[in-house]
Amino acid sequence: MFNQIKDLAGGEFYLISSLVMFMVFFIVVGIYLVKLNKNHSNLMSRMPIEDPQTDVAHEKD
């Protein structure tokens, strides 16, 4: 298997480009998460607990 990786014959571009895209994606997601507004994050995390869902079928009765 390692010999196949060494003998790419022009396929290096695809390996390097896929690695770069992978790294860029996760760096961008990491930066987004660091810069995310903490108040918005806390609001969204409490939303399922504090916002009761009303059942429309019970309201009609």
* pLDDT at res. 37: 87
Between CA 38 and CA 60 the distance in angstroms is 39
Domain hosting residue 16, numbered range:
2-48
Within a domain: residue 53?
no
Within a domain: residue 9?
yes
Higher-confidence residue: 2 or 15?
A: 15
What does each C-alpha distance from 31 to 1, 22, 56 come to in angstroms?
36, 14, 41
* pLDDT at res. 61: 47
Within a domain: residue 15?
yes
Percent with pLDDT over 90 in the chain:
23
Between CA 23 and CA 21 the distance in angstroms is 5
Per-residue model confidence as pLDDT tens digits over 14-42:
888 889 999 999 999 999 989 988 888 88
Q: Could you tell me the pTM of the whole model?
A: 0.54
Average pLDDT, the chain: 78
Within a domain: residue 30?
yes
What is the number of domains present in the chain? 1
